[in-house]
Structures are given as structure tokens and as C-alpha cells.
Amino acid sequence: MLSFEVLGQTIVNGIAAASIYMMISLGLALVFGVMRVVNLAQGEFMMLAAFGSFWLFTLYGVDPYLSMVAMIPASLLLGYAVYRLIIRRLLGADDINQFLATFGLALMLQGIAQYLWSADLRRLPYVLPSLEVGDVTLAGVRVVNIGVCLAVLAFLAWFLGWTGIGRSVRATASNRMGAMLCGVDVRRVDATTFLLGTAISAVGGTMLALVYFVYPSVGAGLIFKGFAVVILGGMGSIAGVIVGSLVLGITEAMVNVYVSSQLSALVAFAVIFIVLVSRPQGLFGTAR
């Protein structure tokens, strides 16, 4: 049972799951880091993009990796509307109000998706051949997903490190007041950050559609994994998200195979509770 193949396969399964977790957590962490708003509707952005790619493939036969790109401008439009109408008004609002307003938005988007497309579980029938490495099987779409995830990380590193607006985003995240005093247009930074998060979620939505089912509440299930990752990595830390996703994905896969498949659902919740209680700043955050 404890053979090397099983261990290798389990770790690969975990990394594949982590690539999806990373997509939702990056959005959460960016928005929280800059605006101190927890956006519970982040998962619904993913869900809508997943449906978008699903329908483009089902109705017009568009390759999902093409719709992955096509979903970005669509998500930016939605993201901007949400930012202007809702998120901007929540800056500095009570925690409870932020939480519940974005929860309301999430429910509304789920309801709309269900109204339009029903609650059926759907699958995007797109396959790539699997790779065999020894006894470990790598599903084609999951391998590509991991690649896409690395590309997104590379883009993010370039954007935050080498562009002017990216530097403003980092400055605002580390000290909003200070950035404002230095003449950073924090409103522009807020909008940019939110849209960046939305776009990453849209890319993640297509990745999701390729490996999971597409249905209205698919994002709601993932947002909690996102919480676990963001809390584990330290709220708002990008490096934390990368490590947090890998830790969560691989731990879940290990518990699933070696302990109990039912208890693997507990990992994310246990992480949230234990980390918050014992080390609220997470692995990469600094104490507040």
C-alpha cells in the first residue's frame, strides 16, 4: 500500500489540485492585501468563466485554451461593474458588512447561473492524452493546468515587480496611507488589483471546467479552500498563496489516500481554525 508509485501519484494529484486552489487564492489575497476586503464572490467569477468556456466548447466547439484567453476581457467587464457598484462602497466598512455583502453577491450570481443553466452537473468533454512516468499517470489536462498556473505566476511576478502600476500595488498593500502620501492614486490601484484578481479567477475558471464539473455552486465549494490557503499563507501574501496551495493540495491528497477520504474534507477547515488560533499571521505574514 505504501508503495512509491502510490506516493508519487498522490503528490501529483495534490499538485494538480493546488494549481486550481492557487487561482482562487491569488484573487482573494490580492484584493485583501490591497483593499482589506474579503471577496466571497471570487469563486463565482470562476464559476461564470467555467460556464463561459463550457458553452463556447459545447455550442461552437471553441478550444477551451482559446476561451481561457477569451474569458479574460469578459471577466474584466463584470469585475469592473462589481468593483464600481459594490466593492468600492465596502472599503473601510464593517467586517460583517463586507462579508455579508459579498456573500449576497455570490448567492445572486449562483442564482442567476442556476436560473439560466439549471443546477445540473456538466462536464466539458475535452481530453488530452495522459503521460506515463514510471507507474505515475499524469492526466493531460492537469499537466497543462499546472503549466498555465506557472505562466500566471510568472506574469504576476513581472507585473508586480517590473511595472509602475505593479509597484504602486505593492506599495499600497504594504502601507495604504504611506502610498497615498507619496502620491499613489490608490483608487486606480484598487481597481487594477480587483480586476487582476478577477482575470486570474477567470483563467482559473476554465482550468476548473477542464478537470471538475461545471455547475452553479462550484465556486462556493472552492472559496473555502481559498480561505484556507490565504490564511495558511498569511492574509495578502503572494508567496504565502503559492506555498499554502501546495501544502493544502498535497495534504488533502495524502489524507485522502492514507487516512480517510471523508476526513480529507476536514483538512481545509482544520487549517483555517488551527492557523487562525495559533498563528493568525500565517506562514508568511508578519504579526499585526
Partner 1 sequence: MTSSSTPGGTLLALLPWLVALAIAAAVPLFLPIYMQRVAVTCLMFVTLGVSWNLSGGFAGQLSLGQAAFFGIGAYGSMITAEHVTSDLLTSIVVGGIVAGLCTPILFPAFRLRGIYLGMATFALGESMRVVAEKVFPGEASGLHTPVVFAVDSLAPYYWALGIAAFTIAVGAWTIRSRLGLGLMTVREDDQAARSIGVPVALYKAIVFAIGAFATGLAGGFYARYLGFIDPHSVFHLDHSINPVFVTIIGGIGTELGPIVGAIFWVILQEVLRGLTDTPAVNTIIYGLLLLVVILVVPRGIVGESQAIWRRIADRRRGRRTGKEIPVVAD
Partner 2 sequence: MAARTAFQNLAGRLAIAVGATALSLCAHVAPAAAADPIKVGIVVPLSGAQAGSGELVLRGYRLHIDEVNASGGVAGRKIELFTEDDRADATTSTSAVEKLISQRGVVAILGSYGSAPTTTGSDVSERHKIPYIAAHAGELRLHQRGLRFFFNIHPGGPPRDVALATFFAEVLKPKSVAGLHSNQAWSIEGMKTLATALKEKAGVEIRQDEFPANTPDMSGQLTRIKAGKPDLVSLYGLDSDNATFLRQALELGLNPRHISVLGDVRASKAAAGLNFDTVLMCDDWFVGLPGAENEKYERLYRTKFPKDTPDRFAVKAYAAAQVLVDALKRARSIDGQGVRDALSATDIPTPVGQAKFKEDGQRLGTFVVAQYQKGAPVVVYPESARTSDAQLRNWRGFR
Contacts to partner 1 by CB under 8 A = 38, 86, 89, 94-101, 103-112, 114-115, 224, 227, 231, 260, 262-263, 265-266, 268-270, 272-273, 276-277, 280
Q: How far apart are CA 95 and CA 78, in angstroms?
A: 24
Of 90 and 152, CB closest to partner 1: 90
Q: Which residue type sits at 12?
A: V
Choose the one of partner 1, partner 2, none that binds residue 224, judging by a C-beta under 5 to 8 angstroms depending on kind. partner 1
Of 261 and 286, CB closest to partner 2: 261
Choose the one of partner 1, partner 2, none that binds residue 108, judging by a C-beta under 5 to 8 angstroms depending on kind. partner 1
110 burial level (CB within 10 Å; 0-12, 13-18, 19+): buried
Taking the complex as a whole, the smallest distance from the CB of residue 147 to partner 2 amounts, in Å, to: 16
**β-pair partners for 75:** none
Taking the complex as a whole, the smallest distance from the CB of residue 265 to partner 1 amounts, in Å, to: 5
Q: What are phi and psi of 133, to 5 degrees?
A: -120, 100
Helix residue ranges per DSSP H, 36-94:
42-60, 64-82, 88-90
Binding site for partner 2 (CB under 8 A): 1, 3, 5-6, 9-10, 13, 16-17, 58, 114, 118-127, 130, 132, 137, 139-142, 212-213, 215, 218, 253, 256-257, 261-262, 264-265
Taking the complex as a whole, the smallest distance from the CB of residue 120 to partner 1 amounts, in Å, to: 12
Taking the complex as a whole, the smallest distance from the CB of residue 213 to partner 2 amounts, in Å, to: 5
Residues 229, 233, 234, 236: what is their CA dihedral angle, to the nearest 10 degrees? -70
Taking the complex as a whole, the smallest distance from the CB of residue 123 to partner 2 amounts, in Å, to: 5
Q: How far apart are CA 56 and CA 44, in angstroms?
A: 18
DSSP at 282 = T
